[in-house]
Structure 1
Amino acid sequence: MIKSMTGYGIANLESEKHIINVEVKTLNSKFLDLSLRSPRQFTDKELEIRNIVSAYLERGKVNLSIEFVSKSNNDLPVHIDEELFVAYYEKYRSMASKVGIDSIDLFKMAAQSPNVTTAITEKTSNTEDWDLVKQVIEDALVHCNEFREDEGEVLMSKFKENLEILRGSLAKVKSEEPLRKQRIKDRITNNFSDWLEENSFDANRFEQELIYYFEKLDITEEIVRLGTHLDYFDKIMNSDKSQGKKLGFISQEIGREINTIGSKANDAGIQRHVIVMKDELEKIKEQALNIL
């Protein structure tokens, strides 16, 4: 069963102390390309998060966002030195009274003075917090995988339609092939019959040249190989594991056979079916880029 690389998953958890929200968005990519946004206290867990994502999603362009909110008002992102603030305020007030100036802005001046507020740049997570966050991350990834599976079912339905059209066009090419050969024979007979009667020639050599000519125009092998590739595509598409890269390779081989049939056939009737097959194959190739 195929799986899309387009996905979306969200999960959340609220405990007595924290509110945790995790959101995952994925798009197609040849490799796992993770863009992570997480709180500062989990920066030391980035490698572990990448390993978790890789285990669930395998590959794709992944945007993962972690929101961790504490219900406690004590967890401020800055440290405020209250004693230093009071010292600044008293000093500014004393200076203002000496020069007879209003003290309206003294609070703001004291709060903005050096070393009163200091950003907390280093804070590590505890085991309990990380276990909760890890659980929510995995829940979001599970939901994202379910989304990918649903999208894969839609893609599979489209692929089945494309394959049906390809097989129908291939069947028409097979039915046209005997008629094409007959048209070639009639054309050669009409063009050369008069010339052959008026000129001496080596009949054996002429026969050999005709055989060589027909072999160059024969598309029997291409028709057989194209049918085999279509069957193989269908088999891989219905296998247990999604194999987007393999489907992409098979699509390339299908394209080669279609192009060869078109160039070797040199026939307007067959060329119409070739155009239809090329159009359907382009749809397959475009969608195959989004398969895991």
Structure 2
Amino acid sequence: MDRIAIGSDIMIMSMTGYGRASTECNGVQVTVEIKSVNHRYFDVSFRMPKSLLQMEATLKKIVQQNVHRGKVDVYIQLEGSAMNSNELHADWELLDQYITLLKKAGERYELKNDLSISQLIKLEDVFHVQQRETTVDEVEMGIIGTLEEAVNALLSMRSSEGLTLNEDIHSKLNEMKEKIELISGMTNDVTKAFEARIRHKLAEFNELEKVDEGRVLTEVALLADKASIDEEITRLRSHLTQFHDILTTDGAIGRKLDFLVQEMNRELNTIGSKSTHHSISQYVVDLKSEVEKIREQVQNIE
């Protein structure tokens, strides 16, 4: 069975959702409820009558074809009079023996033959009521169809949640991009600040005019290179682009996004440790806050 179509172009799926479906099959009311929450891997468990255990592998395959990640709980109930209907059974051979012997006893002892159906029905070993249980074969297709409907409803909710996550994450990514560009624009200010600091120190010791200008510029360049965040900025831009691209692909993308979140945090930590510019440090704090919010959202993406 292919992934159930839910009639939506949404690419990302939330791991949180609920679906329910019910149908009647051969006098049996089949009800399936399925719920899922976020989980690192795919994990499904079934709560259903023991008589359905032989179907578990088939039912698990249906769920796994459509849900790739998350903790999934499936509840299956079977109800209806057909599940436990009673049937009257007769042991005809034993009854034949009863009647034959009773006739012989009547002839032998010259007894009046007053046998009646009402008397025979009292013979518990001849007539007995047996509870009839509906076999799995009789409701198998109904259970499978109902499960597929419930999974479809689950996917619909997960898709709707995914749309909300998608919009929220894109909004935060755009805010991050703006702040990263602002930081990038401040790199020249950092270099100028290094130069101003060196010249100020030299001036304090009356050494500014004695030091070769080229030496000053070389020292400034060395300090600027040591504190350069150009590579980190480039990688952050790349991570943002990859994040946007992954959000527009189908399938299980949560782990990929989680990895990118970790990498963005790594780059921001490096920028924060290198920067001596107050505004850059403040933007790094803001960016790390945005990344943490995205991380929380990513935790719920399939």
Alpha-carbon distance change, 281 to 155 in structure 1, aligned in 2, over 3 angstroms = same
Identify the residue that residue 8 of structure 1 maps to in structure 2. 18
Question: 1:56: Cα distance to partner?
Answer: 1.4
1:129 aligns with 2:139: yes
1:225 aligns with 2:235: yes
TM-score normalized by the length of structure 1: 0.78
Report the number of matched residues. Answer: 247
Alpha-carbon distance change, 57 to 198 in structure 1, aligned in 2, over 3 angstroms = closer
Identify the residue that residue 241 of structure 1 maps to in structure 2. 251
TM-score normalized by the length of structure 2: 0.75
Q: In the alignment, is the contact (CA less than 8 A) between 2:198 and 2:216 conserved in 1?
A: no
Identify the residue that residue 283 of structure 1 maps to in structure 2. 293
RMSD, aligned CA: 2.4
Structure 1 residue runs without a partner (length 5+): 77-119
Identify the residue that residue 173 of structure 1 maps to in structure 2. 183
Alpha-carbon distance change, 124 to 55 in structure 1, aligned in 2, over 3 angstroms = farther
AA in 2 matched with 1:70 = G
Structure 2 residue runs without a partner (length 5+): 1-10, 87-130
Identify the residue that residue 68 of structure 1 maps to in structure 2. 78
Q: In the alignment, is the contact (CA less than 8 A) between 1:44 and 1:124 conserved in 2?
A: no
AA in 2 matched with 1:180 = V
Alpha-carbon distance change, 212 to 198 in structure 1, aligned in 2, over 3 angstroms = closer
Identify the residue that residue 41 of structure 2 maps to in structure 1. 31
Q: What are the Cα deviations for residues 222-249 of structure 1, in whole angstroms up to 9, with x where unaligned?
A: 1111111111101111123341110111
1:55 aligns with 2:65: yes
Moved over 6 A (4+): 198-206
Question: 1:198: Cα distance to partner?
Answer: 8.2
1:261 aligns with 2:266: no
Question: 1:217: Cα distance to partner?
Answer: 0.5
Give the whole-Å Cα distance in 2 for the aligned partners of 1:13 and 1:153. Answer: 30
Alpha-carbon distance change, 49 to 128 in structure 1, aligned in 2, over 3 angstroms = same
Give the whole-Å Cα distance in 1 for the aligned partners of 2:232 and 2:250. Answer: 29
1:32-181 alignment, distance < 5 Å: 32-72=42-82, 74-75=84-85, 125-181=135-191
SS in 2 for 1:61: strand
Give the whole-Å Cα distance in 2 for the aligned partners of 1:75 and 1:192. Answer: 101
Q: In the alignment, is the contact (CA less than 8 A) between 1:5 and 1:28 conserved in 2?
A: yes
Q: What are the Cα deviations for residues 64-103 of structure 1, in whole angstroms up to 9, with x where unaligned?
A: 0001113237448xxxxxxxxxxxxxxxxxxxxxxxxxxx
AA in 2 matched with 1:136 = T
SS in 2 for 1:24: strand
For residue 211 of structure 1, the aligned residue among 210, 214, 221 is 221
Identify the residue that residue 18 of structure 1 maps to in structure 2. 28
AA in 2 matched with 1:222 = E
AA in 1 matched with 2:81 = K
AA in 2 matched with 1:290 = N
Q: In the alignment, is the contact (CA less than 8 A) between 1:42 and 1:124 conserved in 2?
A: no
Give the whole-Å Cα distance in 1 for the aligned partners of 2:244 and 2:13. Answer: 15
SS in 2 for 1:283: helix
Q: What are the Cα deviations for residues 180-208 of structure 1, in whole angstroms up to 9, with x where unaligned?
A: 22122111110123436289779877765
Q: In the alignment, is the contact (CA less than 8 A) between 1:42 and 1:125 conserved in 2?
A: no
Q: In the alignment, is the contact (CA less than 8 A) between 2:68 and 2:252 conserved in 1?
A: no
SS in 1 for 2:163: helix
Alpha-carbon distance change, 166 to 238 in structure 1, aligned in 2, over 3 angstroms = same
Percent identity, please.
32
